[in-house]
A = this chain, B = another copy of it.
Amino acid sequence: MENLIEEFRIFIKKKGLKYTPEREEILREILEVEDHFDVESLYLRLKNKNSKISKASIYRTLPILIEAGFIQEVYKQGGHSFYEVTLNKAPHLHFICISCGRVDEVIDKELNFLIKKHEKDKKYKLLTYHLEIFGICPDCREVK
Which residues of A approach B to under 8 Å, CB–CB? 76, 93, 95, 97-98, 104, 106, 108, 110-111, 114-115, 118-119, 121-138, 141
Copies in the complex: 2
Q: Once the chains bind, are B127 and A134 in contact (CB under 8 Å)?
A: yes
For A111, list chain B residues within 8 Å (CB). Answer: 111, 114
Residue of A110, A125, A128 with most partner-chain B CB within 10 A:
A125
Q: Once the chains bind, are B118 and A138 in contact (CB under 8 Å)?
A: no
Task: Please report the C-alpha to C-alpha distance between residue A93 and residue B124 in the assembled complex, in whole angstroms.
Answer: 14
Known contacts being A118-B133, A130-B130, A132-B129, is A124 close to B97, with CB within 8 Å?
yes
Interface SS of chain A: helix, strand, loop or mixed?
A: strand
Q: Once the chains bind, are B118 and A93 in contact (CB under 8 Å)?
A: yes
Q: Once the chains bind, are B127 and A136 in contact (CB under 8 Å)?
A: yes
Task: Please report the C-alpha to C-alpha distance between residue A111 and residue B78 in the assembled complex, in whole angstroms.
Answer: 26
Q: Once the chains bind, are B110 and A124 in contact (CB under 8 Å)?
A: no
In addition to A108-B114, A124-B135, 5 A-B residue pairs with Cβ atoms within 8 Å of each other are A110-B114, A124-B136, A126-B134, A129-B134, A131-B131
For A104, list chain B residues within 8 Å (CB). Answer: 122, 124
Q: Once the chains bind, are A133 and B108 in contact (CB under 8 Å)?
A: no
What are 22 contact pairs spanning A and B, CB under 8 A? A95-B118, A97-B124, A98-B127, A104-B124, A106-B121, A108-B118, A110-B110, A114-B114, A119-B133, A119-B135, A122-B137, A124-B135, A124-B136, A124-B137, A125-B136, A126-B133, A126-B134, A128-B134, A129-B132, A129-B133, A129-B134, A130-B131
